[in-house]
Structure formats: structure tokens, C-alpha cells
Structure 1
């Protein structure tokens, strides 16, 4: 399978951390976003960062920085759309997204997402883990997204849709199940950051 492009989603407001860029916080000897880059870049054909505001704060990453085209902090789907528009300019067919605040996601994320979408006209899948209470728990910032559906996604966002799984379900999105419940541990609070430092 052709490797997709990768897009790191860093467009959130980090309200539970007091604002700012969670990805620039340190866990161990590296920032969260450095952990994400190290895991995602070997799995994709190229990498960009979705972030809003002054892109200069990410200059040291040497990555294209793409902002949401939908205003008002419309959530992860706005970042996905920005990534799909960027990928279309590169002539790519698909992107895989990863969150900037989730430093230890699986190193086989991309091939497992691709495997889950075999036989689909437009490969669309979210990562999932088993949850003791909810059964399968999907992780909406970790997905494989087809460029062919970007105009549909734009129309859905313009109409007010914000929940990722509502849109993926409309298009028969698949799930790629990962066995480790903690694989997609993300940093939302100062306590989470302390846990990430221990994990690092």
C-alpha cells in the first residue's frame, strides 16, 4: 500500500491545561510533539502540522503548518479538513492524523488503519481500543482519511457537524482495533503530564 501523508493535529485550545500548546510541553527529554513526530514520520510519506495562530512558534520543527479553514475552533474535523486540503495540493490520496498530545501511540498505526480499510472505495478508519465499560472506544484524532471526501466533510462542517464519529459513521468508516488500552493515552491535565513523564 502507498504510504499516506501524515498530519499532526495541534489546533485545540488546551483549556484544561490553562491554554497554550500542549505539544510543546516536555515529557522526559523531549517535547510531546517530538515524541509524536518520531513515531509518525517513519510511517508516512510526508508530514505537516495543523495549528492555528502564529505558525512561527513551530519553526524549529521544519514542518508545513496548516491552519483550520473553518473558523471558531470547530474541533478535530476542522484539522482533518485542513490536512485533506493540504494533501490534495500534494497530489496525495489520503492522510493519517495523530494528536500532538498523545506521545506514545502505536508504531504500527498506519499499516493497521490501512489493513482495516482493505476493499473500501474511499479508505476511512479510526483507531480503537477495548474499554471495559464501553466495549470499543474509538479515538477520533487517530484516523485514515480519504482526500476524495474532503468536499463532503467541508459541507458537513459548514452545516454545523462537529462530532467525528457521526461523520465517519455516515461514510461506513471502519475501526482498527489496538490491544493496548493505554496506547492512546493523551495529556489533558497537569496530572496527565506527570504520567507522561513517568511513561517516557
Structure 2
């Protein structure tokens, strides 16, 4: 199978940070988004950014900017669909998505997702970690998504579906479990306190 293309999901409204682009917040002398690109780009065959509004504000990253194609704020699945449509035009089979506010994402995110989805007719898997109680938590913005199911996803979104795991479960999506050694690799910056925590972790 071809190496997946990567799509960074930056379409959220960052309400808990007072709005604006969370990915542009400074962390350790560079932006959150720069940290994500640094970790994610070596794992994929090409990279794009899913974001709404004026794409010129991200021009300094030199990445294609993909707006949601579904009207209204349809959540992460709309970003996944935008990524799938872009990747289909590139002749890709799959994409892997990552969130723009997760500066410590795993350096083996893509290989582990591919491993989890081995043997599936339509490769579909979400990243997951276990909480202290041992329960498995899926991370819906970190997934491996097949181009072959993009029209199914479009129909689901047009029908009002918003919950990522509802759609992945309907297609027998698998999970790739990642260890939490000391800190959660999927730690995301939602609040000013989280940003302070990220500075300490860095």
C-alpha cells in the first residue's frame, strides 16, 4: 500500500482559548502547529492543513489549506472528508489525520495505525490510550482513513452524523493502542493552563 498523506485538523473554534487559531499559539519559541508539523511530516507522503476562513494566515507554513466542504461547523469528520477529497485528487489510497493542538504526538503514529489496520478491506483505525483505570480512550482526531469510504462519509455528514466513533464503529474501525509513558502523547492544548503544562512538558 502507498504511504498515506497527512492532514492536520485545525478547523476547531478554540472557544476555551478565547477563539482564534490555537495552532498559532507559541510554545518553546515556535508555534503549536510547527511542533505538530515537525513530528508528523516525516511519517507521511505529503501534508495538508484543514482550516476554515482565510487560508492566507497559514501561508508561512507552505502547506495546502483545505476548508470543510460541509456547510456549518460539522466537527472533525468534515475535516477528514476535506482531507479525503484532497488526497483522492493526488491518487492516494489513505490519509492519516492529527490535531493541530497536540505538540507531543507519537513519532510512530502512522506505522502503528497501518499495523492496526492490516488485512482490512478498507483500512480504518483510530489511535487510543488507556486511562489510569485501564479503560481504553479513542482519540477521534488521530486516525487512518480510506479514500474508498469518502462518499459514504459525505452521505453520513449530510445526514447529520457528527460523532466520529459512530461512523468508525459502523465500518468496524480498529484501534491502535499507544503507551502513556509519563505523559499522554495525545495531550492537547485547550486552555491557557494546558499551554503552561505543555511548556513544562517541553
Asked whether the two chains share a fold, i.e. TM above 0.5, the reply is yes
CA shift digits 1:133-160 (9 cap, x unpaired): 4610000000000000000000000000
Q: Which residue of 1 aligns with 2:124?
A: 124
Cα distance in 2 for residues equivalent to 1:23 and 1:81: 20
Structure 1-normalised TM-score? Answer: 0.98
Moved over 6 A (4+): none
Q: Tell which deviates more after alignment, 126-135 or 177-186.
A: 126-135
Cα distance in 2 for residues equivalent to 1:2 and 1:196: 34
Cα distance in 2 for residues equivalent to 1:134 and 1:33: 30
Which ranges in structure 2 are unaligned for 5 or more consecutive residues? none
Q: Which residue of 2 aligns with 1:173?
A: 173
Q: Tell which deviates more after alignment, 114-123 or 172-181.
A: 172-181
Aligned residues of 2:2 and 2:92 also touching (Cα < 8 A)? no
Cα distance in 1 for residues equivalent to 2:53 and 2:106: 29
- Counterpart secondary structure, 1:120: coil
- Counterpart secondary structure, 1:70: coil
Q: Which residue of 2 aligns with 1:33?
A: 33
Give the total of aligned pairs. 200
Structure 1 position 72, deviation (Å): 1.1
Q: Does 1:146 align with 2:146?
A: yes
Q: Does 1:76 align with 2:59?
A: no
Q: Does 1:187 align with 2:167?
A: no
Q: CA RMSD in A?
A: 0.9
How do residues 1-200 of structure 1 correspond to structure 2 at under 5 angstroms? Answer: 1-133=1-133, 135-180=135-180, 182-200=184-202
Cα distance in 1 for residues equivalent to 2:131 and 2:163: 20
Aligned residues of 2:2 and 2:93 also touching (Cα < 8 A)? no
CA shift digits 1:79-124 (9 cap, x unpaired): 0000000000000000000000011010000000000000001100
Aligned residues of 2:32 and 2:102 also touching (Cα < 8 A)? yes
Which ranges in structure 1 are unaligned for 5 or more consecutive residues? none
Cα distance in 1 for residues equivalent to 2:164 and 2:131: 19
Cα distance in 2 for residues equivalent to 1:186 and 1:3: 26
Structure 1 position 2, deviation (Å): 2.6
Structure 2-normalised TM-score? Answer: 0.97
